[in-house]
Structure 1
């Protein structure tokens, strides 16, 4: 089970006189992650280190810290907290005491992990899409069942025969939802699971 954030989060800690500020946010693409880092970059800080993970895609940056002591521990914190589609920026203001490689890794990874631990999180639920054509006589009945079936209306239109919906539903239950809607209308509705599209994927649901 993986989680993303429902809202940006922050956490601050002093480690041997160095100030560490962790900022985390949900992101849906690499471009969004880079925009987040650029928007929150602090020019007068000693280091602005970051990492993001979006599915199998990830990047991290040490921003001048010794290699492997900042960006990678932040990424490991993201993975350790079972987060995905998340970007984390850790800003450091040097306090005059060197932490050493191990100390840096613990500090960067620790504040990133604590920031994510305290953040508001939502479960990532993989979705599939169901198209449903429904006669006008059954529209109200079918719509009333959407919440119980965890069906979210992505697109709605109407024609001479009735309503046409594109519904996002939990992927594991897509065929079951399509069959349930057909049964509900005693076969008058025509519902089918749409083939997956590379441009449409997961949504988020409260755990």
Structure 2
């Protein structure tokens, strides 16, 4: 299901330095806790010697996220995960994970310094990442002949829909994702080509 709110267009990394400590911020699009776990495992593999890998994420619509969490990973409570989450929420972005990998530089930053450093690192990467807004989509099941497959694919290409899967049996059955605001147009296309279709709810 595509979303009508901004999400990160992809993965991005930015590095900042504060009093000799390195802060490597990574942003990644996530749709589930499983995705978060995978990205964190990757960060730990890439930076096994890092002192801290702090993170925060929110999944779902900004402002009413279905799920959000944060982790200070050994930094004083409230100095890492919360500032990262605050920046995510301020950026009004959904389905997003920000990890900040810290290499300690020998100079203590203090609680206020840590909050500023982690928020600054999160800000640097979230300001740089491209956003995409995905329209809400509807699942449609279509029965068609082999000859109709090409026109169907062409309609999808032109109208921002996508053919998700095709089963070739006695007839062809396709699962298509159609933008919600184009349901009527898609129905008209199917009627014109005498295709059977049903919108999934």
Scaled by the length of structure 2, what TM-score is found? 0.82
Partner SS state of residue 118, structure 2: helix
Given that residues 153 and 163 in structure 2 are in contact (C-alpha distance below 8 angstroms), is that contact kept between their aligned partners in structure 1? Answer: no
2:154 maps to 144
1:119 correspondence with 2:133: no
User: What is the deviation of 1:37?
Assistant: 1.1
User: What is the deviation of 1:52?
Assistant: 1.7
Change (3 A) 1:77 1:180: farther
1:26 correspondence with 2:24: no
User: What is the deviation of 1:103?
Assistant: 2.3
Unaligned regions of 5+ residues in structure 1, if any?
196-207
Given that residues 181 and 191 in structure 1 are in contact (C-alpha distance below 8 angstroms), is that contact kept between their aligned partners in structure 2? Answer: no
Taking the aligned partners of 1:156 and 1:133, their CA distance within structure 2 comes to: 10
State how many pairs are aligned.
Answer: 191
Q: CA RMSD in A?
A: 2.2
User: What is the deviation of 1:44?
Assistant: 2.8
Partner SS state of residue 134, structure 2: strand
1:175 correspondence with 2:183: yes
Partner SS state of residue 4, structure 1: strand
2:63 maps to none
1:163 maps to 172
Given that residues 45 and 91 in structure 1 are in contact (C-alpha distance below 8 angstroms), is that contact kept between their aligned partners in structure 2? Answer: yes
1:87 maps to 97
Partner SS state of residue 14, structure 2: strand
CA-to-partner distance for each residue in 1:91-119, whole Å, 9 max, x for gaps? 12223333333322221112112112212
Unaligned regions of 5+ residues in structure 2, if any?
61-65
